[in-house]
A and B are shown apart, each in its own frame.
Chain A
Amino acid sequence: MTSRLSIPTLGRWPRLPWDRLMPWLVPLTLLIVWQLLAQGGLINSRVLPAPTAVAEAALRLTTSGELLTHLSISTWRATVGFLIGGGLGLFFGVVNGVFRPAELLADSSIQMIRNIPHLAMIPLVILWFGIGDQARIFLVALGVLFPIYVNTFYGIRAIDPGLIEMGQVYGLSPRQLFFQIILPGSLPSVLVGLRYALGIMWLTLIVAETIAAGSGIGYMAMNAREFMQTDVVVLAILLYALLGKLADSAVRWLERLWIAWHPSQNLS
């Protein structure tokens, strides 16, 4: 089985693990260019501080313990919101995917709510939940629910009916059909939903934390902006990028674990 175009061996170049290094090539280059430009005075340090300044800010905040506090609070909020929204999305996705009456009853309504940009509901949410963590977690849950619902629902619907028919003929009970055919068959799609949901989770949290929060990375960034601490603002942004990358890596790991058989996983 042929894999995708493999990286040609570069002859006399050293035998490095290019597969692992290449993803870092662009970010590293950008970082170096950025540093050089900042040091050369070509970028105003108030507009965009040098990477070294950002690193100093990071060190400062880590040693004072602030960074860890903000990070853990943000992570906690994100996780709780994700579990609630993701759990509900998964539940309804499965129920509507498997049972036609449930689909007829609930799907339209869910799709209607889905089309409301959840961030546009912030004023309403604040009115309902106040400005505490409840509001933030609610927003994250709302944002996360729909990608997981849609991808789970369609993942189940997209299963080859021939496989289900085969399962029936081979004497599988409905419970066995679900766990042996429907669930594994819909997993690739569910994991796609998971990926989207994780992105939306951080996005929602960032915005929710810039509005009337007392802690968290979003608050840290907003606070730093008010005090003209551009280095901290940039740090916050980099943190988001890192957290997003971590989430993506987590999903990739799950994919390797659960859907090693899928064509997207490059078996060869």
Chain B
Amino acid sequence: MSSTETSPAPVAAAGSHIRINNLSKVFDQRPVLQNLTLEIGPGEFVAVVGKSGCGKSTLLRLLAGLETPCQGDIHLNGYPLRGINSLARVMFQDPRLLPWRNVLQNVALGLGQQGRSRSHWALQQVGLDHRARDWPTILSGGQKQRVALARALVTQPRLLLLDEPLGALDALTRLEMQRLIEQLWQEQRFTSLLVTHDVEEAVTLADRVLVIRQGTIDLDVSINLPRPRDLTQTELAVLKQRILQQILHPQGSPVREFP
């Protein structure tokens, strides 16, 4: 860590509590989500997996407030969600950094006067404070995503929405980023929703894995294994198989499991 570690102002309770009731979303007469009901406790790390087009990204976008539900509602800490979710921060698959601002200014997006010290803090958390003055274009893909992560966490949000953020990275960078996300989540204890197509990533990082199929939750598995997780562990391998099975060869009615 660099010599001046500025810590941010203390924040209230850690994660958002999310309650989703009978959520439905239709695009061009095609139903994407149908009567989805879900509850996520504060500080939970939930992974959402499923085939392409199953609606997992739509669920995330609805939680972010980028889409509005056709039916049903979303409540955060008891309050209904209207418009853009100000409690949440999103990390997209592409870093979406502004090319006309340097790294520090990108992290400080939307922050007022306090912006700079908090941005330095956030960059230190992801290990990129020494690149604060650089233009985003000269960074590598992994570094850009780390800056995007710093930007997402600089306001210490209560909900972090991750929309396949590591999909475009190489395998090694992906592992590093997974560890980094897990570490920051353990420190800050925000609620986290990770949408991913990578089941291994899901079982490595999440407390709970949801499989979405045909617009609803097909499988809801809780994972109580200690962290950091080792993919070679038998229990983890079994879980991974179970989930893959549910995605590829689903059987019967939705299942909720607590191994």
Which residues of A are at the interface with B, using a C-beta cutoff of 8 A? 1, 160, 162-163, 165-172, 176, 180-181, 184-185, 187, 259, 261-263, 267
Contacts and interface: CB of A to CB of B under 8 A. Distances in A.
16 contacts: A162-B94, A165-B66, A165-B96, A166-B92, A168-B66, A169-B64, A169-B90, A170-B110, A176-B110, A181-B98, A185-B100, A259-B100, A261-B135, A261-B137, A263-B137, A267-B137
Contacts of A259: 100
A261 B103 CA distance: 12
Contact of A170 (B99, B100, B137, B151): B151
B138 A267 contact: yes
Given A170-B151, A172-B110, A267-B138, A184 B84 contact: no
A171 B66 CA distance: 12
A170 B109 contact: yes
B110 A162 contact: no
A261 B98 CA distance: 10
Contacts of A185: 100
A1 to B, nearest CB: 6
Contacts of B94: 162
Nearest to A162: B96
Interface of B: 64-66, 84-86, 88-90, 92, 94, 96, 98-101, 109-110, 135, 137-138, 151
The 9 lowest CB-CB distance pairs between A and B, nearest first, are A166-B96, A184-B100, A261-B100, A169-B90, A170-B110, A171-B110, A162-B96, A261-B99, A261-B135
Nearest to A187: B100
Nearest to B100: A184
A168 B138 contact: no
Nearest to A170: B110
A89 B110 CA distance: 30
B140 to A, nearest CB: 12
Contacts of A168: 66, 84
Contacts of B101: 261
A165 to B, nearest CB: 6
Contact of B138 (A1, A160, A171, A187): A1
A63 to B, nearest CB: 48
Nearest to A1: B138
Contacts of A167: 109
A163 B101 CA distance: 13
Nearest to A258: B100
B190 to A, nearest CB: 15
A188 to B, nearest CB: 9
Contacts of B138: 1, 267
A4 to B, nearest CB: 16
Given A162-B92, A267-B138, A169 B66 contact: yes
Given A166-B92, A168-B66, A172-B109, A267 B135 contact: yes
B56 to A, nearest CB: 17
A257 to B, nearest CB: 12
A187 B101 CA distance: 14
Contacts of A184: 98, 100
A163 B135 contact: no
Nearest to A160: B96
Contacts of A160: 96
Contacts of B84: 168-169, 171
A180 B98 contact: yes
A184 B98 CA distance: 9
A172 B109 CA distance: 8
Of the listed residues A166, A167, A262, the one surrounded by the most CB atoms of chain B closer than 10 A to its CB is: A166
Nearest to B85: A169
Contacts of A171: 84, 86, 110
B165 to A, nearest CB: 13
Contacts of A162: 92, 94, 96
Nearest to B64: A169
Contacts of B88: 169
A172 B84 CA distance: 10
Given A162-B94, A169-B88, A187-B100, 6 more contacts: A160-B96, A162-B92, A165-B96, A169-B90, A170-B89, A263-B137
A267 B100 CA distance: 12
